[in-house]
Amino acid sequence: MMLSSPMRLHCTKKLAANLPPELLSGPTPAYFEGANRRLWDWHGHLVLLDRRQCVMFCHDLTRYLLVLPGLRAAEFKEIGRLHRELFLTTIAALGVSSSQLAQLALLLGPLQIDCRTDRSVLGSLRVASDDLQFGYLPRVQNVLDLDPLAMSHQLNTRPCMAEKVLIWPAVVMKKLVEEAVQ
């Protein structure tokens, strides 16, 4: 089992503008490099749905998506905690055992945030944002009525492209988590 290490969030300029400056880190530390970083790299983007700020997270390798609808300005200070809680909740909903979930929680370090983005992952975020805005949002009266767990689950059970390969994000993420906690 690996030791706890920070998770890295590459955020868009739009999201970075809403984050407190003290959350943004400088250059990427050396421990982020290497093959064992597969579980820890994420992208974040701010989208406006019904004039409400919503944050979408996309895992770099698996395109696993997390959605936080209707964030208020004060909640951006807690982005690391909100990401961690939603990630662990969605992983539990995938059927990962409680012992594996506890091990995963120990592996998850603090969130390190920078503004280095990857166009491929941002493209996946844009497609997911369109799916959310034009597919799921019309079904509810208010964006605040969206359930983050249900939206994340629905977005992760659809196929998507990653590195020119068709994948199912929920399946690939579950496998990656199970490998990491062994």
Taking 60 as the threshold, does the pLDDT of residue 135 lie above it?
Answer: yes
pTM of the model: 0.90
What structural domains does the chain harbor? 5-180 (3.30.420)
Q: pLDDT tier at 35 (50, 70, 90 boundaries)?
A: very low
Instruction: With beta carbons less than 8 A apart as the criterion, state whether 66 and 57 touch.
Output: yes
Contacts of 48 (CB under 8 A, 6+ apart): 54
Q: Name the residue with tokens 């059970």.
A: 157
| Bridge partner residues of 57 (DSSP) | 44, 66
Task: Count other Cβ atoms within 10 Å, centred on residue 109.
Answer: 16
Alpha carbon separation from 181 to 9, 39, 59, 144, 154 (Å, rounded): 21, 11, 18, 34, 25
Cα 174 to the chain's mean position, in Å?
14
Q: pLDDT tier at 27 (50, 70, 90 boundaries)?
A: low
Q: pLDDT tier at 31 (50, 70, 90 boundaries)?
A: very low
Contacts of 152 (CB under 8 A, 6+ apart): 65, 66, 67, 86, 90
Percent of the chain's residues with pLDDT above 70? 91
118-131 pLDDT, tens digit per residue, is: 999 999 999 999 98
Taking 50 as the threshold, does the pLDDT of residue 36 lie above it?
Answer: no
At residue 29, the pLDDT reads: 53
| Bridge partner residues of 61 (DSSP) | none
Q: How far apart are CA 173 and CA 59, in angstroms?
A: 9
Q: How far apart are CA 76 and CA 162, in angstroms?
A: 28
Taking 70 as the threshold, does the pLDDT of residue 1 lie above it?
Answer: no
Average pLDDT across the chain, whole number:
88
